[in-house]
Every structure is written in C-alpha cells, then in structure tokens.
Amino acid sequence: MALYKVEAVVLRTREYGEADKIVTLYSREEGKLHGIAKGARRPRSRLAGGMQPFTHVRLMLWRGRNLDTVSQCEIVAAFGPLREDLTRLAHASYVVDLVDEVTRERDANQDLFLTLLGTLHLLAWDQRPVLATRMFEARLLVLSGFRPVLDQCAGCQGSLGADGRRWFSAAAGGLVCPNCRVRERHAIAVSGGTVAALGHLLTADLRRLGVLRPSTQIERELEAVLRAAWDYRIERPLRSLAFLAAVRETPPPAKVAKGPPAQGVRPEED
C-alpha cells in the first residue's frame, strides 16, 4: 500500500460497522474517490470533525484494494453556516450531490475543485445562495464539456432571428431559432435579459457574483433553463432537489415582536 496526500471536499458520508464512516471526496489531485475513516464516529476520534459533508480538508490516505483508508485529517474550512441554516444547507447539499453524480472516479479536474470550493464559500457567507447555486450549475456545464450555445441556433447553426424571441432547448444544447423550436417540444421561452445573465454566469469569476442583480423573472428563467440542462444530462433524480423544494416551501419563522422592557430592567446593548 502507498501513502498519499490530497486536498479535498467531503461530498457525502455513510455509517459503516460500529464506528467507521465511508466517505466520498472530491479532491484537487485525484478527483472523486472513496475512502474509509476508521473510528470516525467515536467522539474522541481525530477524524471525527473532518469527516462531515462540505468540509474542506487535507488528508493522508493509504491506497487500498477497494477502499483507501484515511490516516490523517486536517480541517482547512468547516463551513459552519452551511449546517446552521436550512436554506444554505439545502443548496450546499444539491451542489455536492450534483458533483457526485456527474464526476467519475479518479478523474481529476482542478478547475472543478476550485469552483466547488468557491461555491461553498459563497453558500456559507453570501446573502444570495440561490444565485450562487445558479452560477455553479452554469460553470459545471462548462467544466463538463456541455457549454450551452448562446450566439447561434444550437439546432441548425443558423441565426437566432432578429425579433428578439429566444428559446432554450436542453436536447439541442442551447438557444434555438423559431424554425428549430417547432421540433423542440420542451424548449423554454427566455428573455434577452436571461440570455445575458446566463452568459455572465458561464464566464464570470465567482468573486464577481455581486455585480449580477437579476430580476425575479430572470431568476426564475435561469433556474428553469439550468435545471432543464442538468435534468437532460443526469440519469437519475437527485434526492437533494426534493429537500431543496421542501425548504423553499417552508415559511420563514415568525419574528417575535419585542415589547418595552419591564420597569427597572435595562435593555441589553447590541
């Protein structure tokens, strides 16, 4: 067996035996890999803290026949806010689920690793987790070789037309002209603003997310387009989507109005 080091994000974990965990990782050096963290469910284990979904870690592993064994773990970033807020948790769960679904074993992609890591930072601390998720979906299309065609008809490679009407077809792989749209029964009508926003998401640096201020309509169209693109590419429904939908439908907790302080009691200072 050979000992090796990786920098990785924990995508998912499952219990194994009495105290172990099977972990799925996406690493900078090796791509996706599976390992066993022995004793990680014991409270005093040195591996316990790092073997949690979304955690950014540096690991040493022993290469095994079927599963590699996690030998040492250093936590780089725990992304605590992702576990403290249901909305952030739901979006992060979808992001790592998507990575797990579309990547292959030991197929390293450093750009994907950095994009995943940057997205987790945005989901943990940015105030717009929905838009961060849209950007990740768009960038993952590019990194997976499925960049949508936006500058011409993806069906016939001709002009999209001058009337400003646009349709997106996941099957065709991008925008389609009025003639090709007739054959694309599931094409989605989109506005020019949505096309521009999608083009920005496909190319912009993650750190430039703040410059994008889409309207509610554009946000809805972006979600429909990117969801259709990935639904066409993946083979099974992602369980995290049901969780995301349930969280979205859950009303926010009601704010309790604060009355005047009782007589003789000073209000606490912020």
- Portion of the chain with pLDDT greater than 70, in percent: 93
Q: Is 235 helix (H, G, I), strand (E, B) or coil?
A: coil
On whether the CB atoms of residues 165 and 177 are closer than 8 A, the answer is: no
Question: What is residue 255's predicted lDDT score, i.e. its pLDDT?
Answer: 54
pTM for the full model? Answer: 0.90
* Structure confidence by residue, pLDDT tens digits, 29-77: 999 999 999 999 998 999 999 999 999 999 999 999 889 999 999 999 9
Question: What is residue 162's predicted lDDT score, i.e. its pLDDT?
Answer: 87
Q: What is the DSSP string of 15-76?
A: EETTTEEEEEEEETTTEEEEEEETTTTSTT-TTTTTSSTT-EEEEEEE--SSSEEEEEEEEE
Question: What is residue 254's predicted lDDT score, i.e. its pLDDT?
Answer: 58
Which domains does the chain carry? Answer: 3-78 (2.40.50.140), 82-248 (1.20.1440.120)
Backbone φ and ψ of 209, nearest 5°: -60, -35
* Structure confidence by residue, pLDDT tens digits, 244-264: 999 998 876 655 555 444 444
Question: What is residue 264's predicted lDDT score, i.e. its pLDDT?
Answer: 40
On whether the CB atoms of residues 178 and 165 are closer than 8 A, the answer is: yes
Alpha-carbon Rg of the chain, whole angstroms?
22
Summary mean pLDDT of the chain: 92
Q: What is the DSSP string of 86-146?
A: HHHHHHHHHHHHHHHHH--BT---HHHHHHHHHHHHHHHH-S-HHHHHHHHHHHHHHHTT-
* Structure confidence by residue, pLDDT tens digits, 133-157: 999 999 999 999 999 999 999 999 9
